Amino acid sequence: MSTQTTDRQALDQLCVNTIRTLSMDAVQKANSGHPGTPMALAPVAYVLYTRIMRHHPGNPGWPDRDRFVLSAGHASMLLYSMLYLCGYGLTLDDLKSFRQLGSPTAGHPEYGHAAGIETTTGPLGQGISTAGGMALAERMLAARFNRGHTVVDHHTYVIASDGDMQEGIQSEAASLAGHLGLGRLIAFYDDNHISIEGDTALAFSEDVGARYEAYGWHVRNLGEDIELDRLEQAVAEAKEVEDRPSLIVVRTHIAQGAPNKQDTAGAHGAPLGEEEIRLTKEAYGWPPDEHFLVPDEVLSHFGECRERGEGWEREWRERMDGLAADDPDAHAEYTRISQRRLPDGWERDVPRFHVDTGMVATRKSSGEVIQWAAGAVPELVGGSADLAGSTLTLIDGAESVQRGAYGGRNLHFGIREHGMGAFVNGLTLHYLRAYGATFLIFSDYMKAAIRLAALMRIPSIFVFTHDSIGLGEDGPTHQPVEQLAALRATPNCNLVRPAGANEVALAWQFAIASTETPTCFALSRQGVPTWNPAGVPRDAIRRGAYVLRESYKEGDPDLILMGSGSEVHIANAAADRLEADGIATRLVSVPCMDTFAEQDAAYRDSVLPPGCRARLAIEAASPLSWYRWVGDAGDVIGMETFGASGPQKALYEHFGFTPDNVVARARKVVSG
């Protein structure tokens, strides 16, 4: 063995041990965290960042960078150590403030907290599933823009844990990724045999590699052979398999090198302890009393990542220049999309529906508005969980995205709501404007992905139809009752339940214009009347609520009826009768309670004047969301039980969503 080779190996080992000791020290200083997995995976992360990934720490947002997703988010110190060492902007002080309030080094990687964090990976299974959406976006953009010049050409790398492999969402996403042949997706499975309760054999004994082969993945099991050159070779082999995603299985040892805690559950979710850290550092040949030590030669070596990144980006810009010369429109379009800018004037000509449109389900009017939106915003893509015929979310004239044919816009997620939610987030993170559709009841399956979209402040779009007991005969298992309240309770998430076609059109405009907030649509199966478009203000969704029908007298009304969706029309019929009886009634449509709550007090009071305490809300769902707006003197007609199986009209009558019941309850409110 040459001296040069020996020196290189020594430097490699020094770098790997630096990652390990930084992770140990940060967790110990915080007295909280997961040290064992970063110690075990340090060789994998080191090889990825210094030998394999095309990335540029000097420009973390370079569009053609390789993406890295630490799906095992509890091992966050592994990622933070890499971002610090490579020069992404984290400092040694940031590592020392691991898990502290206000620090960018949170307990799990949080998108937007530090450069180089590509997605939030808290709930296990979400990271590898979101990475599938990223890998699909890369293929879809490549199909559109690699016109003689390869300007979209990168991979998505993942490190996943035993916990990821046990979560159901991962199975759905892996199945879809294999079906679509996403060869640019390469995942490492850290098979360390340890979870919080002990050896994974307590609850997990399946052959993960065989399962992934059945999904259509290329699988390579390295066992305990995770020598750096072998890891690099395994990735090179995976990259050669262009028509299948790849899973590289590595058998690691949690808390590698810790004399008393290696391969123990105690090293998973708790600091090693000062004495064990000293012993471990001695085993590494590390100064045992040094904390957060980073040798100069290690920083110098990692600094080469920036130099290589500059070269890769320079080559890419040359290819972009070639595209600009040969196809300036494609160059301009890709530049716009990668900068997350919408087309100039896209919001012009928002559809308007007139009264003579008649009774139309809001899911149907949404299907019409999607065609306008797709024409105005070319990066809008989406699909459903095998419910396109019910959610009406196909883009007319667009091709379906299939294995090896990624140039279309219609996605088919199969009956995989969990996976669909994560894929939509991955597509959205990777420059596309994506939506996924299913019935509102199945938003329960997608709740974690919706929550992560809200937490990451990304504008994913989730289209939910069959929004109430009005779906009828399918019965209470399919009739959403508590889902609207749950989505409204999610911070930074806008739930829009339109009362008619014109609110639907404005809702799509609002969702596409959003930059930091996901939008959830709740759309009806049953037909509803179409309001005069002049009565629906252009800012109806942005303001969240508005006066749809004013009372017959000046000043405060005697009664305010309010609601969302289908029930606004029931309230309107009741208002006719109430006003005929001399009760001055204002009707308020509340398509988006979330944005209404954000308005200033002056606007809210103009819609719901404090002087009118007689208020009645109507919604065929849990009443919880409405109590804030009706006040102590008001009332809510909602669903206090599950639904039932029967025709829509019979169900609405049975549960009291009729003009007769609204009138009766309104009179009680007015009489006090």
pLDDT of residue 3: 58
Give the residue numbers marked as catalytic: 417
Are both 361 and 437 inside the same structural domain? yes
Are both 39 and 176 inside the same structural domain? yes
Detail the DSSP E strand segments found in 269-413.
360-361, 380-384, 410-412
Pairwise pLDDT comparison (165 vs 532), residue with the higher score:
165
Mean pLDDT of 342-368: 95
Are both 361 and 428 inside the same structural domain? yes
1 pLDDT higher than 60: no
pLDDT tier, 41 (very low <50, low <70, confident <90, very high otherwise): very high
- Domain for residue 160, yes or no? yes
Are both 371 and 435 inside the same structural domain? yes
- Residue 176 structure tokens: 């879809």
Are both 524 and 611 inside the same structural domain? no
pLDDT of residue 356: 86
Q: CATH number of the domain that 585 lies in?
A: 3.40.50.920
Q: How far apart are CA 514 and CA 498, in angstroms?
A: 17
| Domain final residue, candidates 504, 534, 564 | 534
Are both 304 and 383 inside the same structural domain? no
Are both 517 and 550 inside the same structural domain? no
Mean pLDDT of 110-135: 98
Q: How far apart are CA 223 and CA 211, in angstroms?
A: 17
- Domain for residue 320, yes or no? no
pLDDT tier, 4 (very low <50, low <70, confident <90, very high otherwise): low
Mean pLDDT of 620-627: 98
pLDDT tier, 277 (very low <50, low <70, confident <90, very high otherwise): very high
Helix (H, G, I), strand (E, B) or coil at 373: helix
Are both 81 and 223 inside the same structural domain? yes
pLDDT tier, 510 (very low <50, low <70, confident <90, very high otherwise): very high
pLDDT of residue 656: 97
- Domain for residue 325, yes or no? no
CB of 297 closer than 8 Å to CB of 14 = yes
198 pLDDT higher than 60: yes
Non-local (6+) Cβ contacts of 373 within 8 A are 380, 508, 509, 512
Chain CA centroid to CA 276, Å: 39
Domain carrying residue 617: 544-671
105 pLDDT higher than 50: yes
- Domain for residue 345, yes or no? no
Are both 488 and 548 inside the same structural domain? no
Non-local (6+) Cβ contacts of 156 within 8 A are 66, 67, 68, 69, 131, 134, 135, 138, 184, 185, 186
- Domain for residue 350, yes or no? no
Are both 127 and 221 inside the same structural domain? yes
- Domain for residue 332, yes or no? no
Helix (H, G, I), strand (E, B) or coil at 136: helix
Among 142, 154, 192, smallest CA distance to 35 is for 192
pLDDT of residue 533: 87
Q: How far apart are CA 550 and CA 547, in angstroms?
A: 6
58 pLDDT higher than 80: yes
Widest CA span in the chain: 100
Mean pLDDT of 382-394: 98
Q: Express as a percent the part of the chain with pLDDT over 70.
A: 99
Q: CATH number of the domain that 54 lies in?
A: 3.40.50.970
Average model confidence (pLDDT) for the chain? Answer: 97
Buried b (16+ CB within 10 A) or exposed e, 577-613: ebbeeebbbbbbbbbbbbbbeebeeeebeebbeeebb
pLDDT of residue 6: 74
Give the CA angle between residues 58, 62, 63 to the nearest 5°.
170
- Domain for residue 96, yes or no? yes
pTM, whole model, 2 decimals?
A: 0.98
pLDDT of residue 408: 98
Are both 232 and 180 inside the same structural domain? yes
Q: Counting Cβ atoms within 10 Å, is residue 157 exposed (0-12), middle (13-18) or buried (19+)?
A: buried
Q: How far is CA 197 from CA 33, 138, 194, 224, 482, in A?
A: 16, 38, 8, 23, 34
Mean pLDDT of 117-146: 98
- Domain for residue 447, yes or no? yes
Q: How many folded domains does the chain comprise? A: 3
2 pLDDT higher than 80: no
Amino acid sitting at position 135: A
